[in-house]
Amino acid sequence: MKRDSRLSSVLHALLHMAEHDGPMTSEALGQCLGTNPVVVRRSMGLLREAGLVTAERGHAGGWRISADLAAVSLRRLHEALGEPAIFAIGNRNETPECLVEQSVNAALEGAFAEAEALLLERFADVTLADLAEDFARRHAQRRAVKE
């Protein structure tokens, strides 16, 4: 089953944008992510609708972060992307007549709901500023090792 990697891709793109002076084109972000610029534009469009990025037209245009990194949580980004399904697993049949399958569904749905609530709670605690700080620390460590 295919995983939804939009949140990871958006985080990757936003961190590149945070480190870059000026706007970044969809083509440049596509190169960073190893994907087509159309995919970048689609995701950035959702973030623009949420007020997190702006698009500048013209020769020197591109995408720019318009929100404070410390105010943008992973949960807010997840919501901006349309709240894609957290889990790729689910019930075999959503409305079974079999009592055994009804019991199985009840157990799975409860566990899925608890796990999703916990994950979304954690997403609310992690901001783009946290990720940028972690990147800066890792980058400094790598430079120190190379010297």
DSSP state of 93: -
- Return the DSSP state at 62: E
| Burial of residue 39 (number of CB atoms within 10 Å: 0-12, 13-18, 19+) | middle
pLDDT band at 27 (very low <50, low <70, confident <90, very high): very high
User: Does residue 121 belong to any structural domain of this protein?
Assistant: yes
Domain interval for residue 34 = 6-146
Q: Average model confidence (pLDDT) for the chain?
A: 93
Asked if residue 22 is part of any domain, the answer here is: yes
Question: What pLDDT shows up at residue 89?
Answer: 83
In a domain, 1, yes or no: no
Query: What average pLDDT score do residues 73-82 get?
Result: 96
Q: Residue 52: pLDDT band by 50, 70, 90 thresholds?
A: very high
Beta bridge partners, 53, equal 65
pLDDT band at 127 (very low <50, low <70, confident <90, very high): very high
Provide the CATH number for the domain around residue 138. 1.10.10.10
| 1 confidence band (pLDDT: 50, 70, 90) | low
How many domains does the chain contain in total? 1
